[in-house]
Amino acid sequence: MSELENPRMPLIGDKAPSFKAKTTQGDINFPADYKDKWVILFSHPADFTPVCTTEFMTFASMAAEFKALNTELVGISVDSLYSHIAWLRKIQELEWKDKKHIEVKFPLIEDIRMEVAGKYGMVQPGQSTTQAVRAVFIIDPEGKIRLIIYYPLSTGRNFDEIKRALLALQKADKDAVATPADWRPGDDVIVPTAGSCGVAKDRMDNQTKDQYCLDWFMCFRREKKAS
């Protein structure tokens, strides 16, 4: 049974499945070509479709923001390279909201045989057997999958949330903390839960202006908000 007939979605913590592919920016060897960088690998159902067009305009308009976070964007669909090129050229002629003359400079993978989509479980028969759902994989600099989001074909992605989640992952790695619900950069973070009764008692008895606890298992560190 093939990967497409029985797709196995990679799990958080797995190594990102490797592949070589043709893209609108030349051939790539994934994830080897992106060593030491974060990557947002995302699929879309088809070229020349309205929702996908708004998404690509949004991703392209945010490319510099992601690059500043040491993050590269890589798109994929089951359409041909020539279809990709024609569609991306058309996008430059469109205007939507405050976006116009948008040039998509990140690679868009050709996946006619659905080989990459199969590796990542992007084609889900309950939605379509010929189109990839809107998948988002955030992959860390070690090539490990850290976040997975799936959207149905009809629903455009929330790009603010994708960036927020990336920032939260980077914060967790940098400072060995967790981030609470709706966390934004500058918000308080959660420190690791006390591993012993002694540490739990000490945290509760000796709270400071920089660290406070709601209970022994739930302690926060105050962050300095950007001015």
Active site residues: 52
Burial of 26 (0-12, 13-18, 19+ CB in 10 A): exposed
Strand order in the sheet with 108-110: 26-30, 19-23, 108-110, 71-77, 38-43, 134-139, 145-151
Phi, psi of 132 (to 5 degrees): -85, 140
Burial of 60 (0-12, 13-18, 19+ CB in 10 A): buried
How does DSSP classify residue 15? B
Distance CA 166, CA 172 (A): 10
8 is in an annotated binding site: no
CB neighbours (10 Å) of residue 150?
16
| DSSP letters spanning 65-114 | HHHHTTEEEEEEESS-HHHHHHHHHHHTT-EETTEES----S-EEE-TT-
Which token pair is 214? 């709601």
- Is-contact 55 129, C-beta < 8 A? no
Q: How far is CA 89 from the centre of its chain?
A: 25
Please report, in range form, the residues annotated as the binding site for substrate. 134
Please report, in range form, the residues annotated as the binding site. 134
